[in-house]
Amino acid sequence: VDTFVRGKGFFALTEYVATDERANRRFPLLLTTGRILSQYNVGAQTRRTDNSTWHSEDVLDIHPHDAETRGIADGEQVIVAGVMEHIERAGVHSGDSMAVYPTQTVAEETIDKIVDYATRIARAIHAQGLINIQFVEDRDGEVYVIEVNPRASRTIPYVSKAKGVAFAKIAARVAAGEKLADLGLTEEPPVDGFFVKEAVLPFAKLPGSDPRLGPEMHSTGEVMGHASRFGHAFAKSQISA
């Protein structure tokens, strides 16, 4: 880590500007869309090219879905509150994407990887309190980390209602120095049924606005549907939204 040199980054509004900028940079370059969360195109350019289109030798073949975790760490123990699956394709902002818990199409092996990675990351950064990590899976089953946020997030109430546990309250006490074991939280709490989070979008009140979902967040609120079957929980979320 001591010998790692971070190159200067740049932002471009068009591919042509990006091409001009790249001409004066050292390679390899990490290329990604210029917005946070659920990146569309991620690649590593390893050589110079003479045309306006960048050529990547190593582009992630992204799986249609991504997932996120919510957890609590006390510096020693890490409890992953749950792995939620985004229903929209990867690339839609997590605030606009529907999410289901428990997951519906994520393989058990992938869930195990996500929990393992989340636990190791939380310990490595000495997280104390809530932590939010977003992941994406490629078509070969490899799991990548999109971002790590050692803080609360808008879906903590969603997970708390699904689990029946006041995670924010517990995390606040952990951040103040208490241990998870002393607070009675030593493993992931069970879940009863299915929970679908749906975004409330403002497009109907904004005539002429672009309703397409992407990396920018448009949601102005969220609702949750709960039922013993996924289809019923999904329907409730749509009616509520």
Longest dimension (CA), the chain: 62
pLDDT digits (tens, 9 = 90+) for 4-45: 455 566 555 555 555 555 555 555 555 555 444 444 444 444
pLDDT of residue 198: 93
pLDDT digits (tens, 9 = 90+) for 132-182: 998 888 777 888 888 888 888 878 888 999 999 999 999 999 999 999 999
Confidence band (pLDDT; 50, 70, 90) for 57? very low
Average pLDDT in the chain: 79
The pTM of the full predicted model, rounded to 2 decimals, is: 0.73
* 7 Cα distance to chain centroid: 25
pLDDT of residue 51: 45
Task: Tell how many helices (H) and how many strands (E) occur in the chain.
Answer: 5, 10
DSSP state string for 6-23: PPPP---SSHHHHHHHHT
Nearest in space to 217 (alpha carbons), one of 41, 39, 40, 37: 37
* Residue 2 burial (C-beta neighbours within 10 Å; 0-12, 13-18, 19+): exposed
pLDDT of residue 25: 58
Confidence band (pLDDT; 50, 70, 90) for 215? confident
pLDDT at 53 over 70: no
The two structure tokens encoding residue 235: 């329907």
Nearest-angstrom CA–CA distance, 100 and 155? 11
pLDDT of residue 82: 87
pLDDT of residue 1: 40
pLDDT at 55 over 70: no
pLDDT at 46 over 80: no
Tell me the sheet residues that pair with 211.
none
pLDDT of residue 87: 84
Nearest-angstrom CA–CA distance, 39 and 67? 13
pLDDT of residue 23: 54
pLDDT of residue 181: 94
pLDDT of residue 70: 86
pLDDT at 109 over 60: yes
